[in-house]
Structure 1
Amino acid sequence: MTEPILSIRNAVKRYGSLHALDHVDLDVAAGEFLTLLGPSGSGKTTLLSAIAGFVDLDDGRITLHASDITKAPPERREFGMVFQGYALFPTMTVRDNVAFPLKVRKRAASEIADRTKECLDLVQMGGFADRMPHQLSGGQQQRVALARAMSFKPQVLLLDEPLSALDKKLRADLQWELKSLHSQLGVTFIYVTHDQEEALSMSDRIVILKDGCIQQQGAPGDLYNRPRTTFVADFLGKSNFIDADITGRHSDILHCVAKGAAFDVQTDNVDEIGNKARLALRPERLRINKPGVELLAAKVSQVSYLGERCQVIVKHEGLGDLLVSCATWQTGIKPAPGLEVSIGWDQNACVVLAAD
């Protein structure tokens, strides 16, 4: 990472005996799209609120360009903020809502007019400038809220689950627009969501939190393909978990046995693994085929058709239920409950997990 625009060190926030933030360290690069991801109660909104200045830390410090802003009030931090509930002023027009931050900062009337128009055009709301918020759809209100947050050219834009109140298709459309705006503006985005697909599709880097602690952080592909713990593998996407005994190892190959099923696993940390290992196996990395074609015999329990993909639960005598995700286009077999099948996977399909 280049020199960070924002740094959080040893951030602690307690509510009684509960640690909402438990000694969090985080750097944010200039121009980065960083997403804070985690389940309810993980600390992601508390961390965003501490960055914004709405929550006072019990310990730790926050710096912006190496200047300490830990005790600075929100208005001194000059961060843009977009909320889940839009937070538009109901008695102001769209134009006046976007212009408000500039008027508070006592900018010249000509600058206010020009910048307001520019921001509304950026979010494709230029034709709605004279409407009131109640005359807009949820998606339109969120666009206006985004324009208002950008109007005074903040260095950092904080977004607290801004799309969660919208329907699925509109959310998908606005995800593309947000990502495009980020590319155009070059502003640092810090984004909070509990939606894994949203985080994977939009972010340069994802920070996964649980119980006020950072569990893992990295590029979306790195986190998805190389989760470190059961929590990360289970929270970010879906995984099958296999507890295996290691019966031998050769170079980067582990020879594994789990409930009578023998298979090999290729891993780059073979020397750090003891005699047992927990493995994560993504559903799309399993193959399902006719009996005898793949390594293990199984039987189809349930089938869920999802259009482009089919989710299949198969039962193996020793391993139990395993979730398989396969394309529905030109599949080798048509899964149906009760069907005898075989399943298999490549040696490098499994990820060896560390203890949570």
Structure 2
Amino acid sequence: MTSPILSINDAVKTYGSIRALDQVNLDVAEGEFLTLLGPSGSGKTTLLSAIAGFIKMDGGSLTLRSEDITNRPPEHRDFGMVFQGYALFPTMTVRENVGFPLKVRKKPAAEIQKKVNDALEMVQMGAFADRMPSQLSGGQQQRIALARAMSFSPQVLLLDEPLSALDKKLRADLQWELKALHNQLGVTFIYVTHDQDEALSMSDRIIILKDGSIQQQGDPNTLYNRPRNKFVADFLGKSNFIDVTVGAQTGTTLQCAAKGVAFNVETDTHNAAGSDVKLALRPERLKLGAPGEEFLPAVVKQVSYLGERCQVIVKHETLGEMLISCPTWKTDITPVAGLAVSIGWDPDAPVVLSED
């Protein structure tokens, strides 16, 4: 990473006995779409609020382009903010809402008019400039909130679960629009969500938080395919977990045994013979076949049809229940409850996890 636009250094925030931020260190690159992802109580919103200046940290510092802004008030940090609930002024028109940040910065009227028009065109809402917020749909209000946040050309745009109040289809549409807008403007986005699919589809980099600490960070492909621990593997998507004992390791080939089942795993980790490790196996990496086609016999327990894919729960006599994700188009086997099947996976399908 080149010199970061924003750095969070040893950030600490406590609420009584709860450590909402626990020595968080994070550099944000210029122009990056960075997502803070985690369950409720993980610290993601607290971290965003600390960056915005809405809460005072108990320890640590913030720097913007190498300048300390730890004690700078929110209005002087030059950050745009988009909230979950839009936070539009109900008694102002769309034009007045978008121009408000410029007005409080005492910009000339001509400049305000131009920047408001530019911001509204940017989100394709120019025709709605004279309407009131109550005359707009939820998606339109969110576009106006985005235009207002961008109207004064902030150095960083902070977005706190901005799409969570929208229905599924509109939310998906606006994800595409937000990503396209980020690519167009090149402004640094710091985005908070608890939605894993949203994080995977939009982000350049994802920070996964738990109990105020960073569990893992990286690009979406790395985090999904190479989770570091059980929490990440279980939170970002779905995983099957298998506890195995290492027989031996030769190069990258790990000989494993789990409840009477022996198989090999390809891994770049190093594991001592006799050690116990946990494997994560994504549902889409398991193969489902007729009896004898794959290496483990099983019985289908439950099937959930999801359109292009179905989720199948199968049970093996010693490994127990496992989740498999199967395509529904032109398949060799149609799973139904009670069907005898076989399951298997390639040696490079499982991921060896470290301790949480």
Instruction: Give TM-score scaled by structure 2 length.
Output: 0.99
Aligned equivalents of 1:351, 1:328: Cα separation in 2: 26
1:133 corresponds to which letter in structure 2? P
Partner of 2:288: 288
Partner of 1:266: 266
The alignment covers a number of residue pairs equal to: 356
Partner of 1:173: 173
Does 2:246 align with 1:246?
Answer: yes
Query: Is the partner of 1:146 in helix, strand or coil?
Result: helix
Does 2:34 align with 1:34?
Answer: yes
Q: Tell me how far 1:271 sits from its aligned partner.
A: 4.5
Aligned equivalents of 1:116, 1:89: Cα separation in 2: 16
Q: Where in structure 2 are the equivalents of 1:221-260 lying within 5 Å?
A: 221-260=221-260
Partner of 1:155: 155
Deviations, residues 48-93 of structure 1 (Å, cap 9, x unaligned): 0000000100000000001000011000101000000000000000
Q: Where in structure 2 are the equivalents of 1:210-229 lying within 5 Å?
A: 210-229=210-229
Aligned equivalents of 1:71, 1:21: Cα separation in 2: 17
Partner of 1:187: 187
Partner of 1:10: 10
Partner of 1:22: 22
Aligned equivalents of 1:187, 1:29: Cα separation in 2: 10
Aligned equivalents of 2:252, 2:309: Cα separation in 1: 33
Aligned equivalents of 2:232, 2:127: Cα separation in 1: 44
Change (3 A) 1:311 1:259: same
Aligned equivalents of 1:68, 1:12: Cα separation in 2: 16
1:120 corresponds to which letter in structure 2? L
8 Å Cα contact 2:247/2:274 also seen in 1? no
Deviations, residues 316-339 of structure 1 (Å, cap 9, x unaligned): 001100000011011110000000
Moved more, 98-107 or 19-28: 98-107
Moved more, 111-120 or 138-147: 111-120
Change (3 A) 1:274 1:130: farther
Q: Where in structure 2 are the equivalents of 1:2-151 lying within 5 Å?
A: 2-151=2-151
2:251 corresponds to which letter in structure 1? S
The gaps in structure 2 that reach 5 residues or longer are none
Aligned equivalents of 2:78, 2:270: Cα separation in 1: 49
Does 2:329 align with 1:334?
Answer: no
Aligned equivalents of 2:296, 2:262: Cα separation in 1: 9
Deviations, residues 145-182 of structure 1 (Å, cap 9, x unaligned): 00000000000000000000000000000000000000
Partner of 1:299: 299
Query: Is the partner of 1:270 in helix, strand or coil?
Result: coil
8 Å Cα contact 1:253/1:270 also seen in 2? no
Q: Tell me how far 1:274 sits from its aligned partner.
A: 5.8
Deviations, residues 245-292 of structure 1 (Å, cap 9, x unaligned): 111222111111111111110001135686211000000000000000
1:14 corresponds to which letter in structure 2? T
8 Å Cα contact 2:311/2:323 also seen in 1? yes
Query: Is the partner of 2:284 in helix, strand or coil?
Result: helix
Q: Give the 4+ runs in structure 1 shifted more than 4 A.
A: 271-274
Deviations, residues 294-324 of structure 1 (Å, cap 9, x unaligned): 0100000000000000100000001100000
Aligned equivalents of 1:38, 1:334: Cα separation in 2: 36
Percent identity over paired residues: 72
Aligned equivalents of 1:274, 1:107: Cα separation in 2: 70
Aligned equivalents of 1:136, 1:146: Cα separation in 2: 14
Query: Is the partner of 2:31 in helix, strand or coil?
Result: coil
Moved more, 265-274 or 149-158: 265-274
Instruction: Give TM-score scaled by structure 1 length.
Output: 0.99
Aligned equivalents of 2:26, 2:253: Cα separation in 1: 35
1:285 corresponds to which letter in structure 2? R
2:178 corresponds to which letter in structure 1? L
Query: Is the partner of 1:50 in helix, strand or coil?
Result: helix
Change (3 A) 1:69 1:257: same
8 Å Cα contact 2:102/2:112 also seen in 1? yes
1:330 corresponds to which letter in structure 2? K
RMSD: 0.8
Aligned equivalents of 1:246, 1:317: Cα separation in 2: 21
Query: Is the partner of 2:5 in helix, strand or coil?
Result: strand
Deviations, residues 221-263 of structure 1 (Å, cap 9, x unaligned): 0000000000000000000000001112221111111111111
8 Å Cα contact 1:299/1:315 also seen in 2? yes
Deviations, residues 133-153 of structure 1 (Å, cap 9, x unaligned): 000000000000000000000
